[in-house]
Structure 1
Amino acid sequence: MIIKNYLSGPLSVNSYLVVDEKTKKAFIVDPGGHNVNMVSNIKENGYHIEYIILTHGHGDHIGGVPAYQKEFPGAKLVAGKLEQEMLRNAKMNFSQELSGIPVSLNPDILVADGDTLMVGNLELKFLFTPGHTVGGISILAEDALFSGDTLFAQSIGRTDFPGSSFAAIKSSIENKLYTLPDQTTVYPGHMGTTTIGFEKENNPFV
């Protein structure tokens, strides 16, 4: 599995390109904006984008979706079932305020806790991790966890937005993420990578 991080969008979100090396099938996580370096890498290596996956619907994580849907028309848009309203409503997702352009999205696939998708030989498992938003999800691929804005390195996502809940995000981390193996690498929506084991010992918010 190849994982590449590209900072994108107005708040420099970690947008990930994840590739199954054997089949060259791939997916993109949280395209905050259009990143020409990511597109060049995909095209130069002949990667096939199967899915664009959103951990949640905030504007800083979704701004690049329309551009990538044009670049890769075969890619299906994936999001959590309870995030559908936010994705459709540009006022709710703050896309206008963040980028000056309203973004309204209709996912092709809505996933719930425990659902899986295959990308080549990679199995993706979706974990329902609300708290930062009502319908946030995290994505587990082998020993890599894409946590969106739920869990950061020694921090957690903000819970002062409409629909956010500190109690919910704390429960998501403790009951869904901290039950994963300690060696699981966490790829968050902002800041650097960490591990589940390190966060269990050092995260002051949980």
Structure 2
Amino acid sequence: MNIKRIVVGVYAVNCYIVYNDDKKGFIIDPGGDSDDIFKFVDEEKIDLEFILLTHGHGDHIGAVKLVKEKYDLPIYASIKEKNLLKDPIVNLSKSIPPFKQIELVADKWLSDEEIIDFYGESLEIIETPGHTVGSICILMGDVMFSGDTLFRMSIGRSDLATGSFEEIHNSMKKLYSLKKDYRVLPGHGAESNLDFEKENNPFMKNIKNS
């Protein structure tokens, strides 16, 4: 699979456009700068099939409605993110510029360990609450899209609405238990690898001794 990262919005969200050699694709976290997204998709003639959200904060959903309307796409998100997505106060879109009040309802609600088959490629949904109650990671081959759960040498903040440090710590344990050295593509910042994070990330490296 081909993966194009486009950094969008004032909060520098990593939006990922994932597509196969037949140009069938999907988009993860279109958080803003819809013109940049449209330019790449249209120039590459990618046939997008759905929008996949790692969580529902305003900086990750800022361009969802525009992308959905232009390409007539369904939205996929965790069922546990349902209330956050429809509440502009809780999802921060009301209080943090430049967002306006964003209310979303997914077309497909996802559950833990659910598998999405995408032209023979399996996308496994892993619930990783803590940053928000409905945060997920997506496993695809040797790649992990980690949203705002796991960053290079850090983790997502847990002090916002529906967040929990205890839960994100438990999510780190869950990710630590994965055996494959995934290429980690986070919601912000540089990519990493899971084995590197297990050994060096201050929020993961002591898990084996706990």
Which TM-score bucket, shorter chain as reference?
A: over 0.9
SS of residue in 1 equivalent to 2:109: strand
1:145 aligns with 2:144: yes
The runs of at least 4 consecutive aligned structure 1 residues that moved more than 4 Å come to none
- More displaced 10-residue stretch of structure 1: 188-197 or 111-120: 111-120
The one of 171, 176, 179 aligned to 2:177: 179
TM-score (norm 1): 0.94
Kindly provide the CA deviation profile for residues 105-137 of structure 1, in whole angstroms up to 9, marking residues without a partner as x: 010010011101122232111000000001111
* Aligned residue runs from structure 1 range 55-204, under 5 A: 55-73=54-72, 75-98=73-96, 99-175=98-174, 177-204=175-202
Structure 1 Cα separation of the partners of residues 140 and 82 of structure 2? 23
Whether contact under 8 Å (1:34, 1:68) holds in the other structure is no
Map of 2:208 onto structure 1: none
Structure 2 Cα separation of the partners of residues 182 and 125 of structure 1? 14
Gaps of 5+ in 1: none
Whether contact under 8 Å (2:142, 2:180) holds in the other structure is no
Structure 1 Cα separation of the partners of residues 18 and 125 of structure 2? 15
Kindly provide the CA deviation profile for residues 127-186 of structure 1, in whole angstroms up to 9, marking residues without a partner as x: 0000000111111111110000000000000011122111111111212x2223442100
Alignment size in residue pairs = 203
**RMSD of aligned Cα (Å):** 1.2
TM-score (norm 2): 0.92
1:3 aligns with 2:19: no
Structure 1 Cα separation of the partners of residues 13 and 4 of structure 2? 13
Identical columns (%): 40
Letter in 2 for 1:80: S
